[in-house]
Structure 1
Amino acid sequence: MQKGILLPVFYLGPLEYYSKIKHHSDNIIFETCEHYPKQTNRNRTSIHSANGKLNLTVPVKSGANPHTKIKDVRISYDANWQRLHWRSIQTSYRSSSFFEYYEDDFAPFFHTHTEFLFDLNVGLMELCLKLLKLNPNISYTTEYVKTVEDLEDYRHAVSPNAHSDSHNLKPYFQVFEEKNGFIPNLSIIDLLFNQGPQSKQFL
């Protein structure tokens, strides 16, 4: 493996995640073969609602367990989570400066069924990178390696329970900041809907 950074693939990952992508753009390797870890950003994200931080979780089928490879985890549609997520996003950001500008780009992901969590995450990530005007050199793992050499391993560093580097990120205007204060390290869509084409400079 060449020198670079090793990352998991997140569901609408936080700013810290995209900051790492921006600053290691020469060689980014995404993990496809890790065993599925529960309660991580792989199937959850956080947005800024009128009542503060709101967590959104993509449900996975009950067969997913710690021995299931991340690329094989299937999304559950037993409950209409897509409608809940999209309505929550609309309610939280419809008054933001750039929601209407990007709305049509994100809407299809919440109106069509994607079988695998990994495919949903990659599709959303590719869209966010396009909107951020980031064009990193990306590849994907073909096998799981517990300890890697010549790579910065962030598979477990960027998570809801891990120490965060988000304090190094620039604050920016948020729609409900006057009511709730600034909430750092939310989903990348919080930055995009509030700052639009200027988002890249905040990473």
Structure 2
Amino acid sequence: MSLFIPTYFSPISQYSEIIKADKVGFEMEDNFQKQSYRNRCYIYNSSGKQLLSIPVKHQFKEARKKTKDTLVENDFPWQDQHFKSLQIAYRTSPFYDLLEADIAPIFEKKYKYLQDINIDTFLFITDALQLNSDFSKTGNYEVETTKNDCRFLAEKKHQPKKQVEKYTQMFDDKHGFIPNLSILDLLFMEGPNALSFL
């Protein structure tokens, strides 16, 4: 089993490990970390790398908050903004039209918890890539684990040096190849062929 932290439209590096895993386990007992992929992803638009970040509610009394208890801040229309950003960036990509109807519900459903969004994005991606979407959830946090520990992939600063093979990106003629973007970038550009890059 490989152990992961659920993240928002995870970076390609995370899916490179997910497809190798015989079983996927999701860490449910970690502490929320700012500036991580737990509530953010990066896509490629005409200006280069673009951050999409889910706003979360911060309660000042809590010193540490578990990711599973992190609440989404829905007081402003982040889902509309994210969906429009994807449409603008990828509407002319080879596979966007085929996937738009399937991804749209994630931006229409009202979420209370960040973890629920991240699980739904995982289910969307595994369906689009025709991967096994079965997973288990941890019941307690293990500092040292006997499982294949991939939890570090949720942290922006701890990404692997080995990147996936280059593929054609929407604006690489302007800005060059940008590695390890959200899995959405690879999926919209390569569709089912994305698996061969992972």
TM-score normalised per structure 2: 0.94
Instruction: Please report the RMSD computed on the Cα atoms of aligned residues, expressed in angstroms.
Output: 1.5
Instruction: Give unmatched runs, 5+ long, in structure 2.
Output: none
Residues 15-164 of structure 1 mapped to structure 2, 5 A cutoff? 15-24=12-21, 26-63=22-59, 67-135=64-132, 137-148=134-145, 150-164=146-160
Judge conservation of contact 1:15–1:166 (CA < 8 Å) in 2: no
Equivalents in 1 of 2:188, 2:171: separation in Å?
13
Equivalents in 2 of 1:53, 1:100: separation in Å?
22
In the alignment, residue 46 of structure 2 is paired with which amino acid? A
Shift of 1:158: 4.3
Shift of 1:166: 4.5
TM-score normalised per structure 1: 0.92
Shift of 1:124: 0.9
Question: Which secondary structure state, in structure 1, belongs to the residue aligned with residue 157 of structure 2?
Answer: coil
Identity, in percent, stands at 36
Equivalents in 1 of 2:155, 2:8: separation in Å?
12
In the alignment, residue 191 of structure 2 is paired with which amino acid? G
Equivalents in 2 of 1:69, 1:159: separation in Å?
15
Equivalents in 1 of 2:63, 2:117: separation in Å?
20
Question: Which secondary structure state, in structure 2, belongs to the residue aligned with residue 161 of structure 1?
Answer: helix
What do the CA deviations read for 1:77-111 (whole angstroms, capped 9, x no partner)? Answer: 12211111111111000010110100011111112
Instruction: Give unmatched runs, 5+ long, in structure 1.
Output: none
In the alignment, residue 32 of structure 2 is paired with which amino acid? Y
Cα 1:23–1:95 change in 2 (3 A) is same
Count of residues in correspondence between the two structures: 197
Equivalents in 2 of 1:42, 1:155: separation in Å?
11
Cα 1:166–1:93 change in 2 (3 A) is farther
Cα 1:103–1:163 change in 2 (3 A) is closer
Equivalents in 2 of 1:145, 1:5: separation in Å?
13
Judge conservation of contact 1:27–1:136 (CA < 8 Å) in 2: no
Question: Is 1:7 aligned with 2:30?
Answer: no
In the alignment, residue 95 of structure 2 is paired with which amino acid? F
- Runs of 4+ with deviation above 6 angstroms: none
More displaced stretch, 79-88 vs 60-69:
60-69
Equivalents in 2 of 1:48, 1:41: separation in Å?
16
Cα 1:66–1:177 change in 2 (3 A) is farther
Question: Which secondary structure state, in structure 1, belongs to the residue aligned with residue 151 of structure 2?
Answer: coil
What do the CA deviations read for 1:126-147 (whole angstroms, capped 9, x no partner)? Answer: 1101111111552110111222
In the alignment, residue 171 of structure 2 is paired with which amino acid? F
Equivalents in 2 of 1:158, 1:139: separation in Å?
17
Question: Which secondary structure state, in structure 1, belongs to the residue aligned with residue 188 of structure 2?
Answer: helix
